[in-house]
């Protein structure tokens, strides 16, 4: 065996040419310092690993060097596995990290646990070993078991609220961690889209996504639970006035039929819990959502996800999970008449001036009588001499008010007539119970 200056120092042990059955006889020279170093964890690529883990993943020569030389030997570069992007240590199926989870919180303003559909999360790993959908609650932290450590792709099918509003789809890369309640979860905030802003195509696309999710769904999306969830999506989507009811019914109908078959093409994660329960489970993982497969762990308020079970895949246990009501709002339409009020308008007028009216009168010079009607007769009769004229006002000047527009009362609309959808109660879509 040739020595590599990048990996070993001059104290490495030569074994080339020694028969395989004699190599065990070669004495190992290890002083007390080396023994202490051999017990210390190794730090590779920013992470701590036991030498046993490194030995399990690396070449035997490298393992021997690390055990004998403690921390004195260095790896020259990350490509010792043959792939610079490969993890430093391959995980064993029996390793405790086989029970890793994704800790998530999906924030959705206006989401209601009783009347809104759940969020559907599509979980995928990089190499295609994990590929499944699960239903989770919004506005609370939940965990989804993924088995191995690593980074997973989480794509969300947005929920639909009882008024037909929904949210923009979102996705995120989420790193798996231990379910020890100490991990800070990944928060994904969904942007709300009001009912009148959601298009027909958007609503039909959600129905199609639900149908696709059921085909690869875990226990939250299969069986009666999955069928009820699909029906809830249908009901809430159809409450949106922009929805194409026929297209939505077609897609959600497919989802209901698929769910009732109670089987799935999901690639659920392989966990150490599965290894302990191979006799009870075919391909699923520990799941708090009921009927097998990998799913979300929450306290039951996630729409269609609910009670605990360790069954997986299509196999079932004798214990039947307690029924959880899937409450759907019952509504009626109330008509409101238009509202009016009376507004009075005063008359519109303007002022017109009329000049005074005068006339010329004749006045007797002697007696002062007004003799306009017969001046000469008066003078002859009374032997009065002469008269004079004077202007007399027969009509005074005055202002006249002229009406341009008469006063009137007008009925003015305060609010238009409208129809209101009122919630009258709730009914379970599965068993028919009401509240």
pLDDT, tens digit (0-9, with 9 covering 90-100), for 102-116: 999 999 999 999 999
For residue 227, give every residue at least 6 positions away whose Cβ sits within 8 Å of its Cβ, in sequence order, or none.
255, 256, 259, 260
33 burial (CB, 10 Å; 0-12 / 13-18 / 19+) is exposed
| Segment 158-178, tens digit of pLDDT | 999 999 999 999 999 999 888
| pLDDT band at residue 39 using 50, 70 and 90 as cut-offs | low
Cα dihedral 259, 261, 262, 268, rounded to 10, equals -80
pLDDT greater than 50 at residue 273? yes
| Segment 361-377, tens digit of pLDDT | 989 998 988 888 888 88
| Segment 306-363, tens digit of pLDDT | 333 333 333 333 444 567 788 888 999 999 999 999 999 999 999 999 999 999 998 9
For residue 385, the model assigns a pLDDT of 81
**Quick one: 96-332 is in which CATH superfamily?**
Immunoglobulins (2.60.40.10)
> CA–CA separation, 189 vs 113, rounded Å?
17
pLDDT greater than 50 at residue 69? no
pLDDT greater than 60 at residue 221? yes
For residue 181, the model assigns a pLDDT of 63
- Where is pLDDT greater, at 204 or 61? 204
SS3 per residue for the chain: CCCCCCCCCCCCCCCCCCCCCCHHHCCCCCCHHHHHHHHCCEEECCEEECHHHHHHHCCHHHHHHHHHHHHHCCCCCHHHHCCCCCCCCCCCCCCHHHHEEEEEEEEECCCCCCCCCCEEEEEECCCCCCEEEEEECCCCEEEEEEECCCEEEEEEECCCCCCCCEECCEEEEEECECCCCCCCCEEEEECEECHHHCCHHHHHHHHHHHHHHHHCECHHHCHHHHHHHHHHHHHHHHCCCCCCHHHHHHHHHHHHHHHHCCCCCCECCCCHHHHHCCCCCCCCCCECCCCCCCCEECCCCECCECCCECCCCCCCCCCCCCCCCCEEEEEEEEEECCEEEEEEECCEEEEEEECCEEEEEEEECCCCCECCCCHHHHHHHHCCCCEEEEEEEEECCEEEEEEEECCEEEEEEEECCEEEEEEEEEEECCCCCEC
pLDDT greater than 90 at residue 77? no
pLDDT greater than 70 at residue 22? no
Name the percent of the chain lying above pLDDT 70.
65
Query: Nearest-CA neighbor of 6 among 57, 68, 79?
Result: 79
Domain boundaries, the chain: 1-90, 96-332, 356-396
Mean pLDDT for the chain overall: 73
* Token pair 């190794």: residue: 42
For residue 136, the model assigns a pLDDT of 95
Between 42-56, 144-158, 397-411, the lowest mean confidence (pLDDT) is in: 42-56
pLDDT greater than 90 at residue 432? no
Name the most confidently modeled range: 94-98, 128-132, 428-432.
Answer: 128-132
229 burial (CB, 10 Å; 0-12 / 13-18 / 19+) is buried
For residue 59, the model assigns a pLDDT of 42
pLDDT greater than 50 at residue 128? yes
pLDDT greater than 80 at residue 5? no
| Segment 381-408, tens digit of pLDDT | 888 888 898 888 989 999 999 999 999 9
In whole angstroms, how far apart are CA 43 and each of 8, 27, 91, 189? 17, 28, 16, 36
pLDDT greater than 70 at residue 277? no
Structure tokens at 56: 């399990």
314 burial (CB, 10 Å; 0-12 / 13-18 / 19+) is middle
pLDDT greater than 60 at residue 68? no
For residue 162, the model assigns a pLDDT of 94
Q: At what angle do helices 32-39 and 60-69 cross, to 10 degrees?
A: 120
pLDDT greater than 80 at residue 410? yes
Other beta carbons within 10 angstroms of residue 20's beta carbon come to 7
For residue 77, give every residue at least 6 positions away whose Cβ sits within 8 Å of its Cβ, in sequence order, or none.
84
237-258: average pLDDT: 92
């Amino acid at each position: 065996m040739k020595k590599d200056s990048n990996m070993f120092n001059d104290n490495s042990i030569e074994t080339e040419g020694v028969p395989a059955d004699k190599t065990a006889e070669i004495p190992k020279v290890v002083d007390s310092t080396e023994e202490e170093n051999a017990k210390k964890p190794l730090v590779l690529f920013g992470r701590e690993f036991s030498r046993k883990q490194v030995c399990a993943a690396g070449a035997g020569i490298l393992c021997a060097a690390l055990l004998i030389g403690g921390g004195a030997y260095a790896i020259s570069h990350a490509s010792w596995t043959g792939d610079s992007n490969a993890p430093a240590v391959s995980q064993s199926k029996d390793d405790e990290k086989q029970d890793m989870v994704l800790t998530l919180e999906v924030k959705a303003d206006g989401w209601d646990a009783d009347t809104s559909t759940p969020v559907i999360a599509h979980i995928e790993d990089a190499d295609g070993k994990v590929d499944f959908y699960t239903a989770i609650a919004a506005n609370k932290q939940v965990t989804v078991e993924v088995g191995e450590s690593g980074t997973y792709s989480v794509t969300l099918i947005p929920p639909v609220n009882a008024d037909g509003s929904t949210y923009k789809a979102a996705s995120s890369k989420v790193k798996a961690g231990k379910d020890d309640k100490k991990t800070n979860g990944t928060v994904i905030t969904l942007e709300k889209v009001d009912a009148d802003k959601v298009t027909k195509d958007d609503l039909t696309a959600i129905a199609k996504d639900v149908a696709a999710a059921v085909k690869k769904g875990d226990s939250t999306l299969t069986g009666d639970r999955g069928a009820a969830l699909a029906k809830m999506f249908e009901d809430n989507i159809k409450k949106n006035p922009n929805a194409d009811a026929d297209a939505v019914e077609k897609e959600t109908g497919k989802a209901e039929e698929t769910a009732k078959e109670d089987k799935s093409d999901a690639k659920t994660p392989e966990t150490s819990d599965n290894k302990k329960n191979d006799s009870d489970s075919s391909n699923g993982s520990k799941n708090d959502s009921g009927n097998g497969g990998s799913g979300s762990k929450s306290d039951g308020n996630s729409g269609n996800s609910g009670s605990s079970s360790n069954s997986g895949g299509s196999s079932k246990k004798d214990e039947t999970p307690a029924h959880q009501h899937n409450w759907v709002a019952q509504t009626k339409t109330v008509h409101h008449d238009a509202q009016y009020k009376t507004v009075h308008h005063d008359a519109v007028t303007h002022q017109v001036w009329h000049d005074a009216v005068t006339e010329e009168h004749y006045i007797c010079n002697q007696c002062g009588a007004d003799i306009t009607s017969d001046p000469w007769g008066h003078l002859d009769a009374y032997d009065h001499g002469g008269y004079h004229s004077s202007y007399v006002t027969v009509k005074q000047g005055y202002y006249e008010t002229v009406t341009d527009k008469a006063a009137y009362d007008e009925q003015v609309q305060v609010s238009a007539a409208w129809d209101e959808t009122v919630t009258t109660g709730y009914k379970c879509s599965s068993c028919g119970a009401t509240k």
